[in-house]
Each structure stands twice: as structure tokens, then as C-alpha cells.
Amino acid sequence: MCNTDANPILIDFKENSMRPVELRSDTMTRPTPAMRKAMAEAEVGDDVFGEDPTVNRLEAMAAERVGKAAALFVPSGTMANLVSQMVHCGRGDEMILGSLAHSFYYEQGGSAAVACIHPRTVPNQPDGKLPLDELEAAIRDDNIHFPRTRLIALENTHNLCGGAPLDPAYLSAVGDIARRHRIKLHIDGARLFNAAAAFGVEARQLAAEADSISFCLSKGLAAPVGSVVCGSAEFIHTARRARKVLGGGMRQAGVLAAAGIVALNEMVDRLIEDHANAHRLAVGLTGIPGIELDPERYVTNIVYFDVIKPGLSATELVAALQRDGVRLLAAGPRTLRAVTHYEVTDRDIDHALESVNRLMK
């Protein structure tokens, strides 16, 4: 569990009683003191020319961590997904993804709008999976009327499915389907290291079946900017072209990559603390009248819960909590989302639970 007094990463934030409990997203994490130091001291060059040694180091580390030949540093998780989709699919090709995929829901339909890819959704189950029979049935035959299925895209952990992690056996079954039909598998691993922590496995075990996999440095790993896409050398060569046409070619990006290197070195092993805090929050919320959730569903750092009280909407509860110094997101008319991360302490969880308890009376 994360105790502020014992946590050297947090001490520099000079915690005081006015500090809000920031549970809206793990994207809110600020760079650690070690990251700021590494950024200030980073050796840099022009990355569009492949000459930034710090970016090159981050890319090599990232590729190694997920067991792929090469990697590409990109500004965001959204660009990581779009670049990957553009490499795997041509104009008019079809991508199969979950009905609740971030890429389908929250990325402005960029795959269609920018890359001319036809998205085909299969309903996500509450555990983030796509049923294997429905997934396979969605793959198109060779028929002049149909778009050509080129890609399956999974999300691990699954954001809208409560941070559900996809296990190695499921990934292997999807990998089999993709291989049998000669189509590619991309994994949006924005929170890949949370999934690995949940199963106690290495990230590369969750990446083994993927032709491409992305992960975010700027979420639970606390870097200020950036994601990494990983795959074969050939995939990354083409992804680098796609990044450039999207305007994502950065120059002295080593100042950002330096924080990403600290993120990979120092922030991965502690993610289990965030999971423990999220679980404690979920269990604590379960006992509050008017709050509904199944605490056993939440095994990583995301918790969704419903407010069932006449006259109180999620937006109203969020506003009341905000006045109490507790920040959450309204994720639906009755649904709230809380995400834990390294700036959320034990005491913050107590504070959040006390506030919800009081406001629900």
C-alpha cells in the first residue's frame, strides 16, 4: 500500500491537506523528481533523423520489455493505435475490435476518418474479452462484396470493462484465430504493465501473440508524455512513416523519452500498490448504501460504481465530491469512475470513502 510518508517519490510534492485526491485518471500523474532530473540532463539529437540517443535507448528498452524486435516512441496512445492500424490495414480494409474498445469509442473514429479503415465491432464481455466464436465468425470470407478483414484489435487492460486484464490463455486463443485466417493482431496495451502485474507475469508474455503492441508511459507509469509501439523491424519501419504523416515526427524528443526510461525502470514494479488501493476503494464503496458495484470485478487500477439514489445523478455526486477535494469522473448518468495511481495514498482512499459515505447519507 502507498503511504505518503514512506514514499520517496511523493515526498517532493510537499503534500498538504489541500491537495485534492485525484482519482479522475492515471493520466493526471505528474513526472517524478527522478524524471524531471533525467529530462533536464537528457542527451538529445534530431529523432526524425534517428539521431536522438535517448529516444533510441527508450525504444530499445521498450522492445526488449515486450519481446519484440523494434519499437517506436509516439506522442500518445491514440497515435500508437492509429499508426498500428495504418500499417496493418489499407484503405477500405476491415478491423475487428470490441464494441467498448477505447479505439472505437474515444479516438474520434480516427481509424475511419484518417486511415479509411472500416471498423467492425464484436460485443465486449464484462471481462474485456470478445467471445472467440463471435470473433471468428466476424472474419470475412473472400467475396467481392465484403471489405477484407486485416486486423483484430484487443485492449489490455480494458478501460471501459473496469480495467479487466486479458490473460495469456485467451490471448493465445485469439492469436491462433488470427494466424489461421492470416490476419494481424494488435493489442492496445495502454495499461499493459497493469495487466502483467495483475497476473504476476512479464509484459512479454502478454505480448507474445501480438504482431504489434502499444503501451502508454503517461498513465500509471507517470511519464509526462508518450507511448511506445512495438513489433517487427519491418512493422516499425512502416510505422515510422505513418507517424511522420500524422505529424508525430518529433525532434529533440529525448527530453521526453528520458522520463519514459525512468518510468520503465522505476514505476512498473509499484503498480501492485495501485491495484491494492483500487481494491480497497472498491470494497469500501460496497458497504455504502446507495452505491452499487461488484468489488471482485476490479483487479487493476480502475473502479466503476453506480449511484442508486433518487434525485442524485453521477454528475451531481462528482460535483459534491469535488467540493470535498475528491476528484472522480462521471462515466454515465449513474456511473462514476475512479482510477488509482502513484499520487494516490492510503489516506486518500480513506478520505474518498469518508466523503462518499457522508454524501450518500
Using CB under 6 A, list all residues that contact ligand TLP: 25, 27, 76-78, 102, 106, 155, 159, 188, 190, 216, 218, 227
115 or 288: CB nearest ligand TLP: 115
Asked whether 221 and 268 are in contact (CB, 8 A), the reply is yes
Give every CB contact of residue 99 below 8 A, 6+ residues apart in sequence: 121, 122, 123, 124
Minimum distance between the CB of residue 287 and ligand TLP, rounded to whole angstroms?
A: 26
Q: Where are the beta strands (DSSP E) in the chain?
A: 21-22, 70-74, 94-98, 118-122, 149-155, 184-189, 212-216, 227-231, 291-292, 302-307, 326-327, 329-330, 335-339
76 or 111: CB nearest ligand TLP: 76
235 or 304: CB nearest ligand TLP: 304
Q: Which residue is nearest to ligand TLP (CB)?
A: 77
What SS3 class is residue 16? coil
- For 7, other C-beta atoms within 10 Å of its C-beta total 17
Pairing of strands 94-98, 149-155: parallel
Minimum distance between the CB of residue 119 and ligand TLP, rounded to whole angstroms?
A: 15
Asked whether 159 and 102 are in contact (CB, 8 A), the reply is yes
Minimum distance between the CB of residue 159 and ligand TLP, rounded to whole angstroms?
A: 4
- For 21, other C-beta atoms within 10 Å of its C-beta total 22
167 or 188: CB nearest ligand TLP: 188
Distance between terminal CA atoms of the chain?
28
Minimum distance between the CB of residue 314 and ligand TLP, rounded to whole angstroms?
A: 15
Minimum distance between the CB of residue 181 and ligand TLP, rounded to whole angstroms?
A: 25
Minimum distance between the CB of residue 309 and ligand TLP, rounded to whole angstroms?
A: 26
CA distances from 275 to 179, 222, 250 (A): 34, 15, 34
163 or 284: CB nearest ligand TLP: 163
Minimum distance between the CB of residue 216 and ligand TLP, rounded to whole angstroms?
A: 6
What nine digits make up the cell of 286? 460496497
From 306, 253, 237, select the one nearest 74 (Cα to Cα).
253
216 or 259: CB nearest ligand TLP: 216
106 or 146: CB nearest ligand TLP: 106
Q: How many CA atoms lie within 13 A of 2 on its CB side?
A: 28
d(CA 206, CA 227) in angstroms, rounded, equals: 17
d(CA 128, CA 262) in angstroms, rounded, equals: 30
Minimum distance between the CB of residue 218 and ligand TLP, rounded to whole angstroms?
A: 6
77 or 165: CB nearest ligand TLP: 77
